[in-house]
Amino acid sequence: MKKSFLRKNIWLKLASLILAIALWFFVVLSGRSGIFMDIPLMYINTPHEFEVVDFPKTLSVNIEGQERLIKSLKQNEINAVIDLSSAKEGKSFYTVTHENIKLPKTLEVTSIEPQTIGITLEKQLRKTVPVQPAVVGVPERGFVIFEIKVAPETIVIEGPKSIISKINNIKTEPIDIAGLNHSLQYKVKLNISNSSVKTDEQKVDVNIFVRIK
């Protein structure tokens, strides 16, 4: 009797099963969406004697998930992390996989571009260089500059060897002395435009002494 019941209307039952499976997939997949995003690349565990000098800052990923979750995704919730703890001097190549991508667990990364990135590391160099005041303009007629003093006279800079080795001095931001008729002391910022160059000094004192000709 039981076997007879199972065999009865078997094609109808099979069709119902297929329809139920299709309906389940529709419910699960409905509302899913995808988006391409450029996400930031973060580098961690850089060996202390090295500095990253040439590296990509972003890569492109395709993210899929529920549409409402995709729409609420914030830029700071997703990034790619590259561990440089075993990095060597020179250029190295790293394969970016799903394991490198940090994002909410409810979402899925389906593609990464590029999948291979090149990173260049250089040894750091410390160097002591003189500070050069950048004076513009001229004093009032009848007056002349007879001495300029800077404190501190030298600073220690640090950064990638290829950059630091080419720096012989650090200039201040421009000091306008147009019409100056008496000695003055200025607190002036250092003019360091390259973000790879680091120093503990941010400002220096510049004393400009003038006198009558």
Q: pLDDT tens across 133-171, in order?
A: 999 999 999 999 999 999 999 999 999 999 999 999 999
Question: How high is the pLDDT of residue 25?
Answer: 53
67: CB partners within 8 A, 6+ apart: 31, 32, 33
- Indicate whether 154 and 114 sit together in one domain: no
- Indicate whether 42 and 113 sit together in one domain: yes
> How many other C-beta atoms are found inside a 10 Å radius of the C-beta of residue 212?
9
Q: What are the residues facing 116 on neighbouring strands?
A: 95
Q: Tell me the whole-structure pTM to 2 decimals.
A: 0.63
The CATH number of the domain where 104 resides is what?
2.170.120.30
Taking the C-alpha atoms of residue 119 and residue 91, their distance in angstroms, rounded to an integer, is: 5
- Indicate whether 137 and 116 sit together in one domain: no
Mean pLDDT (whole number) for 14-42: 68
The CATH number of the domain where 165 resides is what?
2.170.120.40
CA torsion, points 103, 108, 110, 114, in degrees to nearest 10? 0
For residue 3, pLDDT beyond 80: no
Residue 17 included in any domain: no
- Indicate whether 161 and 201 sit together in one domain: yes
- Indicate whether 44 and 112 sit together in one domain: yes
**Are 179 and 34 within 8 A, CB to CB?**
no
Range of the domain at 40: 32-123
- Indicate whether 80 and 144 sit together in one domain: no
Nearest by Cα to 41 from 115, 135, 139: 115
Q: pLDDT tens across 82-131, in order?
A: 999 988 899 999 999 999 999 888 888 889 999 999 999 999 999 999 99
Taking the C-alpha atoms of residue 198 and residue 157, their distance in angstroms, rounded to an integer, is: 6
Determine phi and psi for 75, rounding to 5 degrees: -60, -35
- Indicate whether 53 and 101 sit together in one domain: yes
- Indicate whether 85 and 152 sit together in one domain: no
- Indicate whether 167 and 149 sit together in one domain: yes
Residue 4 included in any domain: no
* Domain final residue pick, 123, 155, 188: 123
Residue 171 included in any domain: yes
Taking the C-alpha atoms of residue 73 and residue 65, their distance in angstroms, rounded to an integer, is: 10
Nearest by Cα to 110 from 101, 122, 121: 101
- Indicate whether 112 and 62 sit together in one domain: yes
- Indicate whether 137 and 191 sit together in one domain: yes
- Indicate whether 82 and 165 sit together in one domain: no
Q: pLDDT tens across 62-82, in order?
A: 988 877 777 777 777 889 999
